[in-house]
Chains A and B, each alone.
Chain A
Amino acid sequence: MADQQHQGPAGSPTSEKEKLGFDPHDPHGFHEGEEHGHHILSMRMLVVILALLLALTGLTVGSAQAEIIIAEELGISIPQWVNVTIAMTIATVKAILVVAFFMQLYYDTKLNTMILLFCLLTFGLFIGFTSIDMGNRDRIYSWKDGQHTPGGTGGLGLERGAFDSDRNPRRTTVTGPDGEDTGRTRRASEEVAGAITDYSADPDVARTRIDADVLERLERYQERRRAQRPAASPNRVTDLSSPRLFAPPDDEDGDGNN
């Protein structure tokens, strides 16, 4: 409903509208769909939504507890992705209920829905590409094994032998402090991470290793430069102890003066 004062000063707006075929004070018809923002939810609807939300909370807690009970009583270990999928599906349904009805997006202009969906799209890109990257590093590194030197990731998965012939991460059993079997396994990349931690714990060993590494790289670099260097010209002085470098050519007694 438009404000009565807004109908304009001249005459009856209805007759004017009928005469012209459009409302001269609202030629684009902005006021025709004005009521969309003012949907009044019924109390029954609100209570039903709250009851659904509470029931779904109970369901998600219950399913998580059921997984523990099944694992402990029956000895059946449900894969983790099942638990995650159930919990995230229930959370998504709950979020949709809150957004659509408590936040009234269902009754709102479609523009607000588009704003939210675009935001969720960017969130999807963010988490999607990050997951693709993180989830596939093992495979990428085994494929590139030997071409890399340990770098920014702290050497995760970069060492030779971290993967078996099927390019799966090699897992070794973890032993406890007294050498007992803990029943857990870990990836070679985690061993590498551990090894690096131990190695930096001993500064002397670390320095030796780093010095050796730097020297080896330097040598390789110099070799490469030597190979690339053009053939020495006869005028080039390669012997740094040659008196030609420091003494003038006619310095007979070699005291630096003519």
Chain B
Amino acid sequence: MTSIETGGNPPQHNQQPPALSTEPRWKRQPFANHWRSHAEDFDACKIGMWLFLTTEVLLFAGIFVAYAVFRMWYPEAFANGSHHLDVHWGALNTVILLISSFTVAASIRNAQLNQQGLLKINLSITLVCALLFMIIKFTFEYAPKWAEGKRPGVWFSYPFAADPNEHIWWSLYYTATGIHALHVLIGAGVLFVVLLKSFKGWYGPKHYTGIEVAGLYWHLVDVIWIFLFPLLYLIH
């Protein structure tokens, strides 16, 4: 225990044993000195994450309100635009995201029960699901639509549009799904870091704040899609 690590203070009760310890990382994981226990550290992290998630919800709230307003103004444009989306890809992406949410929830359980192998498998499945989601989104949804001229705003050049305001629908579609896809990428990045750390033995019983917080973010991405899917794909 060097005095640099403890900021010049004498070693505290929660300092980790010497680095050469053979204990797994999660057993000698320290928590900050201003907490009484790991539990308080964990709860504080979770409250912070929930506060952050509220800002995320309010970010998407703007998009949902824009959807409501433009749908009230141009119902025909929205009905026509929605017909160009393929329900099958949307439903498949919904299933993929639900399964990935399940694997994240299962990986938290694995950490709680110290099932290190299953933990890595479940996190890997989640990342594969994120990759599948993005591949479907870009290959089968964005690319063909963009090529046909179904583009947002001033780039809209689809010659067979049935409604003069259809570009508004496409603007909203690309904004909503694009920001959601960005969240999928960020969530996958965070979960990738969590997976790398799980290989270093960071997570175990009562020491899984990282998975819990990354998982909360991932579930929020899932919840947003749960609402975007019917609003975009299932209206007529």
Contact = CB atoms under 8 A, between A and B. Distances in A.
B169 to A, nearest CB: 16
A195 B222 CA distance: 43
Given A2-B37, A57-B95, A87 B234 contact: yes
A192 interface: no
B62 to A, nearest CB: 8
Contacts of A103: 215-216, 219-220
Contacts of B102: 46-47, 49-50, 102
Most buried by A among B40, B47, B54, B235: B54
Contacts of A91: 226-227, 229-230
B68 A46 contact: no
Contact of B227 (A40, A95, A119): A95
Contacts of A130: 65, 68-69
Contact of B37 (A31, A40, A87): A31
B61 A123 contact: yes
B161 interface: no
Contacts of B234: 60-61, 64, 83, 87
A10 interface: no
Most buried by B among A35, A67, A102, A130: A102
B82 to A, nearest CB: 10
B14 A3 contact: yes
B42 interface: yes
Nearest to A53: B98
Interface stretch (B106-114, B123-131, B135-143, B190-198): B106-114
Contacts of B109: 40-41, 43, 46
Interface stretch (A106-114, A161-169, A200-208, A237-245): A106-114
A105 B38 CA distance: 19
Nearest to B43: A37
Contacts of B46: 37, 108-109, 112
Nearest to A99: B223
A6 B219 contact: no
Given A50-B102, A91-B226, A103-B216, A126 B65 contact: yes
B75 to A, nearest CB: 8
A40 B87 CA distance: 36
Chain B binding surface SS class: helix
A239 B209 CA distance: 87
Nearest to A65: B87
Contact of A64 (B37, B76, B236): B236
27 contacts: A6-B14, A30-B36, A34-B37, A38-B39, A40-B112, A46-B106, A50-B98, A57-B95, A60-B234, A64-B230, A65-B87, A80-B236, A87-B230, A87-B235, A95-B227, A101-B105, A108-B46, A109-B47, A112-B47, A119-B57, A120-B57, A126-B65, A127-B61, A130-B65, A134-B69, A134-B72, A184-B76
Interface of A: 2-3, 5-6, 26, 30-31, 34-35, 37-38, 40-41, 43, 46-47, 49-50, 53-54, 57, 60-61, 64-65, 67-68, 71, 80, 83-84, 87-88, 90-91, 94-95, 98-99, 101-104, 108-109, 111-112, 115-116, 118-120, 122-123, 126-127, 130-131, 134-135, 156, 184, 186, 194
Given A5-B14, A54-B98, 19 more contacts: A30-B36, A37-B43, A38-B112, A41-B108, A47-B102, A50-B98, A50-B102, A57-B91, A57-B95, A87-B231, A87-B235, A88-B227, A95-B226, A95-B227, A108-B46, A112-B46, A115-B47, A122-B61, A131-B68
Interface of B: 13-14, 36-40, 42-43, 46-47, 50-51, 53-54, 57-58, 61, 64-65, 68-69, 72-73, 75-76, 87, 91, 94-95, 98-99, 101-102, 104-106, 108-109, 112-113, 164, 206, 215-216, 219-220, 222-223, 226-227, 229-231, 233-236
Closest 3 CB pairs of A and B: A119-B54, A87-B230, A64-B234
